[in-house]
Amino acid sequence: MNYKNFLLLCGIFIHSITGLYAQKPVSGKVSEKSPEGRLIPLPFANIHWLGTQEGTVANESGRFELKRSSSGENRLVVSYVGYINDTISVRQNQNSVDIVLQPGSELGQVEVKERMAGSFISTLKPIKTEVITTAGLQKLACCNLSESFENNATVDVGYSDAVTGARQIQMLGLAGIYSQLMVENIPFTRGLGSAFGLTYIPGTWMESIQISKGTSSVVNGYESTTGQINAELRKPWNSEKFFLNLYASHEGRLEANAHASKVLKDDVLSTLVLAHASTHLGRIDMNKDGFLDQPLSRQFNISNRWSYEKHGVTESKFGFNFLIDERESGQLTKLSSSDAINNGNYVVNIKTRRAQLYDKTGFVFNSIPNTSLGLIFSGLYHEQESVFGRNEYNARQLGFYGNAIFQSQIGNENHIYNAGVSFMYDDYRESFADTTFDRIESVPGVFAQYTYSPGEKLNIIAGIRMDHHNKFGTFVTPRFHFKVNLFENTVLRGSAGKGYRSASVLAENSGMLVSARQLVFVEDFKMEEAWNLGVNLTQTIALSEKRNLVLSADYYRTDFQNQLIIDLDQGYDRILIYNLNGKSYSNSFQINADMGVFEGFDITAAYRLNDVRVTTAGELRERPLVSRHKGLFTMSYATRFEKWKFDFTSQYNGRARLPLGVPHLEHAGYGEYSPGYFTIHSQITRKFKKWDAYLGVENLTNFMQHHPVLQPESPFETGFDAGMIWGPLMGRLFYAGIRYSIK
């Protein structure tokens, strides 16, 4: 979220050894984590039972032994000058604790982990954050960020259209553009990256993904109305020396990922190269409509990351990414692209080049505790040349993002404030058919945020920012978050805030480009603007020493003051694009249960209700192509040391309203709504000494949306539409692959 995130990954690792006698003394070790992940003991740390005088001091190797508290208090406070105090609960039958303290910089960032589950809800962060770990990412071996959410109920992923292979996410029932997608806390898919950005981050490159619902901190900008997704990539200082992943699917997708890292100087300089190449060769047309189900594609993607550190003084992370992505699709089941075009077929051809440079530097000021300055810069070049049938769409974006964040405390560590300035600059050249959308967006901004955390039980964050957009003027973004531990294992959180964004309408709605509907731009766009409010409750129930049942429930409401409406309800031959005139809102309610059934076996069950309505064609209606009910069930079983791993995910997606006045949908047998459907994904992984092998299946029940392309026989005439997508476009898919690593 700011500088704290590129400080060390920190946490408390509690290693429990089941003792024979419950009242044995508690022994343990206090350490800190070095930048490359080694644990270094902290000698002479203070340890005492909360609220008592019963305590001890660790020895010179950080080890200690302490009798159980006579008061029955089970919370152990560990303190050490220059480090953040930690309070941890020690269970009756737990005799050993290993404690990792974090250098004094930030509160509320401590995560308690036992066996690394595939995903967990952090109970200590003030903003509710779901974390998908590396283990979770490996459960779905294919392929990139867009596939990482299959076993998560918070984020939905669907296809944008039936031709290009573009994926889009949804949070709270609203399109992914209303959430902020970041990579290492740098905005990633703004502007032209919206359509295919999710496929630009290969799965193996990621270390973890953090998902938070509702508005996030003002430090990261004014976007993120419905939520924030941050993907952390692998780190130069703790990655495998060499890693290789090879993947193949039975429909002809081949993929290779190779990583290599080197520590050039211990604790100071390290580098990592991530490389990805993939291709889709299979010409698949399961529904025999003459259109490929998946585009033929090639992607080459490389990233070089560097880390420099002067311990306790400065840290810098910098690097670049470069990507080439080419895809061809449409009526290409038999012919090559050029032959198909000569033949008068409908062909889509998209070539993308993208380069990004970034630098994040942090300075720690040792004179005042908790004081640091973080600077983030990133530069982007994104170019897309494409043909959609008989229309050309060409676009280019030159972007700059800069953010400077100062952090310090007022009096003591209970009062932390952040303040800073940011600047976003984007130069777009965009043309579709004979219309151009060239524009420059330049947005300087200032922000301030105050965090009050008087103890473990309460956190309050209040932030405000003011930005000036060169086209839309000055606007203010207030945001507020709180977290309160109602009881020891019950956490209540709430958030309220505003979000804004300016739309890149063509890039964000690729479905419009693969349709013969006429695009009618009714008026000039205004900035999109919405309020978001949410509450959530998380209850942890200890089932045994190592197993928990975590229940959570949340409710979020988003209310648009202005939204860019893509109105599909005014007849099958047109799309009207205009500013909201009436109401547009989303109510999203979700319950989640995660349970460790026995050692190695976890299950998750979730249900979500989205009530999303928008005013189109003059009336408030259900937002089209958004399903109202969703259910999720996952099972995961791993033998000891994860030698064998079995993962199973099933999803139910309820019916979605179909756009009005489309006779082809009626001819295809659909009424007002699409049918609801189940999907099943499953994977088996076998781990060996240096490599893993996996075999999996996606969409086992083989449910597919019939007629994803409307009127495929005459794609250049009114009625052709490949943008009405509510279900899976790919049938049952088997895949297998290996991962090889040298530590």
Residues at the site binding other proteins, with contacts judged by CB under 8 A: 15, 17, 29, 31, 38-43, 60-62, 81-83, 96, 98, 103, 248, 250, 311-313, 366, 640-641, 643, 684, 686-689, 693, 695, 734, 736
Q: What is the pairing mode between strands 677-687 and 691-698?
A: antiparallel
- Would you say 351 or 687 has its CB closer to other proteins? 687
- Would you say 361 or 562 has its CB closer to other proteins? 361
Q: What phi, psi does 513 have (nearest 5°)?
A: -80, -20
Min dist CB 67 to other proteins, Å, is: 20
What does 643-696 look like in DSSP terms, one character per residue? SEEEEEEEEEE--BBPPTT-HHHHHTT--SBPPPEEEEEEEEEEE-SSEEEEEE
203: closest CA among 591, 696, 703, 631? 696
Min dist CB 191 to other proteins, Å, is: 39
Q: Do 161 and 723 contact (CB within 8 A), yes or no?
A: yes
Query: Tokens standing for 588?
Result: 């999203």
- Would you say 62 or 399 has its CB closer to other proteins? 62
- Would you say 103 or 624 has its CB closer to other proteins? 103
Min dist CB 15 to other proteins, Å, is: 4
Residue 544 buriedness (CB in 10 A; 0-12 / 13-18 / 19+) = exposed
Q: What is the largest CA-CA distance in the chain?
A: 87
Min dist CB 393 to other proteins, Å, is: 35
Min dist CB 498 to other proteins, Å, is: 40
- Would you say 267 or 611 has its CB closer to other proteins? 267
Tell whether omega for the bond before 10 is within 30 degrees of 0, i.e. cis.
no
Q: What is the pairing mode between strands 63-66 and 55-57?
A: unpaired
- Would you say 404 or 684 has its CB closer to other proteins? 684
- Would you say 43 or 51 has its CB closer to other proteins? 43
Min dist CB 160 to other proteins, Å, is: 29
- Would you say 106 or 161 has its CB closer to other proteins? 106
Min dist CB 728 to other proteins, Å, is: 19
**Residues paired with 616 in a beta bridge:** 619
Q: What is the DSSP letter of 425?
A: E
Min dist CB 264 to other proteins, Å, is: 16
* Distance in angstroms (rounded) separating the CA atoms of residues 57 and 66: 9
- Would you say 83 or 200 has its CB closer to other proteins? 83
Q: What is the DSSP letter of 69?
A: P
Report the 10 Å Cβ neighbour count for 342.
10
* Distance in angstroms (rounded) separating the CA atoms of residues 339 and 326: 18
> Which H/E stretch holds residue 441?
strand 439-452
Query: Tokens standing for 503?
Result: 């739309």
Q: What is the DSSP letter of 191?
A: G
- Would you say 99 or 665 has its CB closer to other proteins? 99
Q: How far is CA 623 from CA 173, 567, 610, in A?
A: 9, 10, 10
Q: What phi, psi does 404 have (nearest 5°)?
A: -120, 125
188: closest CA among 352, 2, 437, 356? 356
Min dist CB 312 to other proteins, Å, is: 3
Min dist CB 315 to other proteins, Å, is: 12
Min dist CB 299 to other proteins, Å, is: 21
- Would you say 70 or 367 has its CB closer to other proteins? 367
Min dist CB 105 to other proteins, Å, is: 11
* Distance in angstroms (rounded) separating the CA atoms of residues 466 and 457: 31
The number of residues in the chain equals 743
- Would you say 279 or 562 has its CB closer to other proteins? 279
Min dist CB 29 to other proteins, Å, is: 6
Q: Do 108 and 125 contact (CB within 8 A), yes or no?
A: yes
Q: Do 737 and 248 contact (CB within 8 A), yes or no?
A: yes
> Which H/E stretch holds residue 337?
helix 337-342
Report the 10 Å Cβ neighbour count for 516.
21
Query: Tokens standing for 25?
Result: 């003394």
- Would you say 125 or 253 has its CB closer to other proteins? 253
